[in-house]
Amino acid sequence: MDTEQFTIPLWLELTAVGLGGIQGALFASGFRGERRLDLLGVAIIGTVMGLGGGLIRDLMLGLPPASLQSEWYLPVVVVAAFIGMLLAAPLQRVNAVIVGLDALVIGLFGAFGTSKALSLGVPIIPSIFVGICSAVGGGILRDMLMSLPVSIMHVGSLYAVAAGAGCAVLAILHLFDVPIFISGLIAVAVTTVIRWLAVIFDVSLPEQRMLYRRKVATETGLIPIVRR
Amino acid sequence: MDTEQFTIPLWLELTAVGLGGIQGALFASGFRGERRLDLLGVAIIGTVMGLGGGLIRDLMLGLPPASLQSEWYLPVVVVAAFIGMLLAAPLQRVNAVIVGLDALVIGLFGAFGTSKALSLGVPIIPSIFVGICSAVGGGILRDMLMSLPVSIMHVGSLYAVAAGAGCAVLAILHLFDVPIFISGLIAVAVTTVIRWLAVIFDVSLPEQRMLYRRKVATETGLIPIVRR
Amino acid sequence: MDTEQFTIPLWLELTAVGLGGIQGALFASGFRGERRLDLLGVAIIGTVMGLGGGLIRDLMLGLPPASLQSEWYLPVVVVAAFIGMLLAAPLQRVNAVIVGLDALVIGLFGAFGTSKALSLGVPIIPSIFVGICSAVGGGILRDMLMSLPVSIMHVGSLYAVAAGAGCAVLAILHLFDVPIFISGLIAVAVTTVIRWLAVIFDVSLPEQRMLYRRKVATETGLIPIVRR
Contacts of A161 in chain B (CB under 8 A): 40
Domain that holds residue C178: 3-215
**Judged by CB atoms within 8 Å, which residues 16-45 of C form the interface with B?**
34, 37-41, 44-45
Contacts of C62 in chain B (CB under 8 A): 62
List the single residue in C117, C153, C218 with the smallest CB-CB distance to A146: C153
Residue A118: pLDDT band (50, 70, 90) is very high
For A181-202, the pLDDT digits (tens) are 899 999 999 999 998 887 777 6
Q: Which of A198, A45, A33, A23 has its CA nearest to residue A97?
A: A23
Tell me the C-alpha distance between A152 and A46, whole Å.
18
B170 located within any domain: yes
Q: Which of C29, C56, C33, C59 has its CA nearest to residue C45?
A: C29
Tell me the C-alpha distance between B121 and B118, whole Å.
5
Nearest Cα residue in chain A from B219: A218
List the single residue in C63, C69, C147 with the smallest CB-CB distance to B150: C147
Average pLDDT for B198-202: 72
Is the pLDDT at B5 greater than 50? The verdict is: no
Whether the Cβ atoms of residue A45 and residue C102 lie closer than 8 Å to each other: no
C150 located within any domain: yes
Is pLDDT larger for residue C81 or for residue A27?
C81
A228 located within any domain: no
Q: Which of A213, B218, A146 has its CA nearest to residue C219?
A: B218
Tell me the C-alpha distance between A144 and A150, whole Å.
7
Contacts of B153 in chain C (CB under 8 A): 37, 41, 44-45, 145-147
pLDDT of residue C41: 85
- Phi (first) and psi of residue C106, to 5 degrees: -65, -35
pLDDT of residue C97: 77
Instruction: Say if B148 is an interface residue toward chain A (CB within 8 Å).
Output: no
Interface A-B, measured as beta-carbon pairs within 8 A, has a size of: 68
Give every CB contact of residue A162 below 8 A, 6+ residues apart in sequence: A103, A106, A107, A190, A191, A192, A194, A195, A198
Is the pLDDT at B171 greater than 70? The verdict is: yes
For B140-166, the pLDDT digits (tens) are 999 999 888 887 776 555 788 899 999
Is pLDDT larger for residue B222 or for residue A17?
A17
Q: Any alpha helices (H) in chain A, and if so which ranges?
A: 10-29, 39-60, 73-91, 95-119, 124-145, 151-154, 157-175, 180-200, 205-220
For A43-58, the pLDDT digits (tens) are 899 999 999 999 999 9
Is pLDDT larger for residue A32 or for residue B167?
B167
Residue A77: pLDDT band (50, 70, 90) is very high
List the single residue in C44, C55, C67 with the smallest CB-CB distance to B153: C44
Residue C34: pLDDT band (50, 70, 90) is low
Is the pLDDT at C191 greater than 50? The verdict is: yes
C194 located within any domain: yes
Instruction: Say if A59 is an interface residue toward chain B (CB within 8 Å).
Output: yes
Contacts of C221 in chain B (CB under 8 A): 227-228
Average pLDDT for C53-78: 93
Say whether B129 and C74 touch across the interface (CB within 8 A).
yes
Tell me the C-alpha distance between A26 and A87, whole Å.
7
Is the pLDDT at C205 greater than 80? The verdict is: no
ipTM: 0.83
A225 located within any domain: no
Interface A-C, measured as beta-carbon pairs within 8 A, has a size of: 68
- In chain C, what percentage of residues exceed pLDDT 90? 53
Tell me the C-alpha distance between A160 and A171, whole Å.
16
Instruction: Say if B65 is an interface residue toward chain C (CB within 8 Å).
Output: no
Instruction: Say if A86 is an interface residue toward chain C (CB within 8 Å).
Output: no
Tell me the C-alpha distance between C192 and C184, whole Å.
12
Say whether B41 and A153 touch across the interface (CB within 8 A).
yes
- Chain C nearest CA to A107, separation (Å): 24
Tell me the C-alpha distance between A216 and A213, whole Å.
5
For C138-159, the pLDDT digits (tens) are 999 999 998 888 877 765 557 8
Residue C195: pLDDT band (50, 70, 90) is confident
Say whether A34 and C214 touch across the interface (CB within 8 A).
yes
Is the pLDDT at C57 greater than 50? The verdict is: yes
For C84-106, the pLDDT digits (tens) are 988 887 776 667 777 788 889 99
Say whether B69 and A149 touch across the interface (CB within 8 A).
no
List the single residue in A37, A74, A219 with the smallest CB-CB distance to C153: A37
Is pLDDT larger for residue A85 or for residue B37?
A85
Nearest Cα residue in chain C from A217: C218
Nearest Cα residue in chain A from B148: A149
Tell me the C-alpha distance between B140 and A181, whole Å.
39
Average pLDDT for B36-54: 89
Tell me the C-alpha distance between C215 and C228, whole Å.
13
Average pLDDT for A158-176: 91
Contacts of C38 in chain B (CB under 8 A): 154, 157
Contacts of A117 in chain B (CB under 8 A): 68
A17 located within any domain: yes
Angle C187-C190-C193 from CA coordinates, rounded to 5°: 145
Residues counted in chain B: 228
Is the pLDDT at C1 greater than 80? The verdict is: no
- Structurally, chain C folds into a number of domains equal to 1
Say whether B126 and C73 touch across the interface (CB within 8 A).
yes
Q: To the nearest 10°, the Cα dihedral for B21, B25, B27, B29?
A: 180
Contacts of B55 in chain A (CB under 8 A): 60
Mean pLDDT of chain C: 82
Nearest Cα residue in chain A from C131: A68
Contacts of A221 in chain C (CB under 8 A): 227-228
Q: Which of C195, C208, C174, C14 has its CA nearest to residue C104?
A: C195
Please state the separation of Cα A33 from the chain's center in Å.
Answer: 25
- Chain A nearest CA to C43, separation (Å): 23
CB neighbourhood size of A82 (10 A): 16
pLDDT of residue B94: 64
Give every CB contact of residue C225 below 8 A, 6+ residues apart in sequence: C213, C214, C217, C218
Average pLDDT for B60-66: 92
Residue ranges with strand state E in chain C: none
Give every CB contact of residue C99 below 8 A, 6+ residues apart in sequence: C195, C196, C199, C205
Crossing angle of helices A95-119 and A180-200, rounded to 10° = 150
C226 located within any domain: no
Contacts of B142 in chain A (CB under 8 A): none
Alpha-carbon Rg for chain B, nearest whole angstrom, is: 17
A105 located within any domain: yes
Is pLDDT larger for residue C169 or for residue A102?
C169
Q: Which of C167, C114, C138, C122 has its CA nearest to residue C44?
A: C138
Tell me the C-alpha distance between C57 and B105, whole Å.
30
Instruction: Say if B161 is an interface residue toward chain C (CB within 8 Å).
Output: yes
Interface B-C, measured as beta-carbon pairs within 8 A, has a size of: 70
Say whether A74 and C140 touch across the interface (CB within 8 A).
no
- In chain A, what percentage of residues exceed pLDDT 70? 80
Instruction: Say if A64 is an interface residue toward chain C (CB within 8 Å).
Output: yes
Alpha-carbon Rg for chain C, nearest whole angstrom, is: 17
Say whether A218 and C218 touch across the interface (CB within 8 A).
yes
- In chain A, what percentage of residues exceed pLDDT 90? 53
For B70-120, the pLDDT digits (tens) are 999 999 999 999 999 888 877 766 677 777 888 899 999 999 999 999 999
Contacts of B161 in chain C (CB under 8 A): 40
Whether the Cβ atoms of residue C168 and residue C144 lie closer than 8 Å to each other: no
DSSP-derived 3-state class of residue C146: coil
Chains in contact with chain A (at least 3 beta-carbon pairs closer than 8 A): B, C
